[in-house]
Structures are given as structure tokens and as C-alpha cells.
Amino acid sequence: MTKPRVTLVTCRDYPQLQADEAGLPDALAERGMDPQIVCWDDPDVDWEAANVCVVRSVRDYAGRRQSFVDWAHSVPKLLNPADVIEWATDKHYLADLAKVGMPVVPTTWLESESKLTKHQVHTRFPALGDFVVKPAVSSGGREMGRYTANRGESRMKAIQRAVSLLDAGRSVMVQRYLKQVDTYGEISLVYFNGILSHAVQKSAMLSPAEETDAQLQVEGVSSHEPSPQEWEWGEQARRAIHQHIYNRVGHDQLLLYCRVDLVQDGEGGCYIMEISPVDANLFLGETPGALEKFAEAIATRVMW
């Protein structure tokens, strides 16, 4: 009897997946699957041979997003599906979620086609406090920086970063840095097949601009038991995401996995920092049993 094939999709930087998912092929094999690991841009892969294809460590898509989206639309039985991948690989999705009433982090969007001057970019930055500049298409927190509005050197470096991205034809996001990230951190809620699997708490990812000019720091991550309020925030976000996808494509598409990142807003509510239904780090190593839950979720979809 032929075993169902599960093709785990990665990139050349992670030929055996990321470290906390290294045990996933074995976990799938234990459930009667035939797991294969392949790179998304390998021209020799027979995508038709798989029962399902699961996008995982594709951290290189940001520099070739259109090629990646075209590839996704060419692959049958892809999880998560191609139209979700197209939507979620550009953080303009936050504007879509805001339109349906979700509390996303307030964002100023700078578009390359606007041909903004350095002065015009400068006027779109906050006048006080720390703020973050990052491209709308990025993966794994790359190319973003934290700056201080009232420090001339820091503000100039923020302008240079934004202009460099805009000159490369990329959209830029400007967001106030939320102090709650430093005091409480972010909460990441991980869903498998629409059901909350586990959660982690992450410490600040960006160091203060005064010290290191917005260099990325290694996150402190620990398993977290969501409070009832955090659980409800996550459920609101999950429902909004699925409703938007339904409105966008005209039919239900249950996501195999999705990570929702939340931060407190300081007023008893929350902001959605990001959603990740494409190449999300699912923090499978931080919570006992999480990897097995993911393998079970994949196996369930194979059997549908």
C-alpha cells in the first residue's frame, strides 16, 4: 500500500527545515505518511506527486515575492493555499484587517510610486518617541529598524533606510514603537486547523535605538498559557482572518496553520502585530507536544 506523500516546502537556506521542525518528517512517518523535504524553487520537483504540500521554511521569498506567488498558484494541494499566500506575504493585509474592525498597530504607509523626497519621508515620521521602519514585504523580521524621533542621527538613519527601500520599489511601513513590547512582550498564538494549539511569550526583538541603532536581537521565547482575554483576542483575530479570506475568494479555506502575534495596547485591549500563515515560526520546540500536534494536523488534512 502506497503511503500518502507529504511534501514539506523549504528554501535553500534551510535544506532540512529549521531546527525546531527537524523532527517533523519522523513525526509524519510515524503517522503513516511519506514525508519529503524540497525547495520551492527546485525545477525538478514533481508537485503533482504529493497528497499535500506544506509551506514551511521559505524565508527567501521576500526578495522574489512575485516568483514565489506564481509558484504557489502553480502547485496543487498546497497548504496553506496560494490565494492566502498571495495575500499574507504583503503586510498591506493589516490595512484589510483594520477595515473589518480589527485593532492593528497604527501604520503609516509609504509607497514607492509616490516618489517621496527625503523631506516628505521625514514629515511622515512621528515627532516624538521611538518608531519602527520596515518593508511591507519581509520575512522573519529582516530589514526592520527601531529609531528615536528626536535624535537627529537616528532620524536621519531612519530616513536613509526608508528611502533606500522606496528607491528599490518597495512599500515601507512606519509604526510607533509600543513600549508594552518592552514591559510585557508579544504573545504569539498558534492555530492548527482553526484550533488554538499553543502560545508563547516573546521578549522585545528590537533593541533601543540609543544603544545599537535598531539592531535585531535574539528573542527570548517561553511557553505561555493564554489568559481568557488573550484567548478571546486571538479568537476575534482568527474569525476576522477567515472571514476576510472567505470574502476575498468566495469560499471557506480552513488554514492548516496560522500564527497571530498580539501586544497589549496599554488601555485594556490589544493590537495585532502580525499574522503568519505562510512561513511562520510555529515555536514547536518551546511547548511540549506542539510538534506532534502539527504532525497530527497535517495528517488530518491528508485524510480529508
pLDDT in tens, 219-278: 689 999 999 999 999 999 998 888 888 887 766 678 999 999 999 988 888 999 999 999
Q: Which residue has the higher pLDDT, 219 or 166?
A: 166
Least Cα distance to 81 among 200, 286, 257 occurs for 257
pLDDT confidence of residue 100: 86
The mean pLDDT of 153-178, rounded to a whole number, is: 95
Q: What is the chain's length?
A: 304
- Top mean pLDDT of 24-38, 94-108, 254-268 is at 24-38
Q: Is 52 in contact with 301 (CB distance < 8 Å)?
A: yes
Judged against a pLDDT cut of 70, whether residue 210 lies above it is answered with no
Q: Is 153 in contact with 214 (CB distance < 8 Å)?
A: no
pLDDT confidence of residue 246: 84
The mean pLDDT of 124-139, rounded to a whole number, is: 93
Confidence of residue 214 (pLDDT cuts 50, 70, 90): very low
Phi, psi of 240 (to 5 degrees): -65, -40
Pairwise CA distance, residues 303 & 104, whole Å: 36
Q: What's the grid cell of residue 277?
A: 500563515
Q: What's the grid cell of residue 258?
A: 496560522
CA dihedral 11, 12, 18, 22 (to 10 degrees): 100
Cis ω before 150 (30° cut-off from 0): no
Q: Is 223 in contact with 287 (CB distance < 8 Å)?
A: yes
Pairwise CA distance, residues 41 & 72, whole Å: 10
Q: Is 84 in contact with 255 (CB distance < 8 Å)?
A: yes
> Quick check: helix, strand or coil at residue 199?
strand
Q: Which residue has the higher pLDDT, 249 or 61?
A: 61
pLDDT confidence of residue 205: 66
Confidence of residue 207 (pLDDT cuts 50, 70, 90): low
Q: Is 30 in contact with 76 (CB distance < 8 Å)?
A: no
Q: Which residue has the higher pLDDT, 245 or 8?
A: 8
Burial readout 120-133 (b: 16 or more C-beta within 10 A, e: otherwise): ebeeebbeeebbbb
Pairwise CA distance, residues 248 & 242, whole Å: 10
- Mean pLDDT of all residues belonging to the chain: 90
Judged against a pLDDT cut of 90, whether residue 123 lies above it is answered with yes
Q: Residue 169, exposed/middle/buried by CB under 10 A (0-12, 13-18, 19+)?
A: exposed
Q: What's the grid cell of residue 198?
A: 499553543
Cross-strand bridge partners of residue 78: 53
pLDDT confidence of residue 304: 73
pLDDT confidence of residue 26: 97
Confidence of residue 203 (pLDDT cuts 50, 70, 90): confident
pLDDT confidence of residue 183: 86
Fill in the DSSP letter of residue 20: G
Angle at 174 between CA 170 and CA 180, to 5 degrees: 140
pTM summary value: 0.91
- Of 162-171, 179-188, 199-208, minimum mean pLDDT range: 199-208
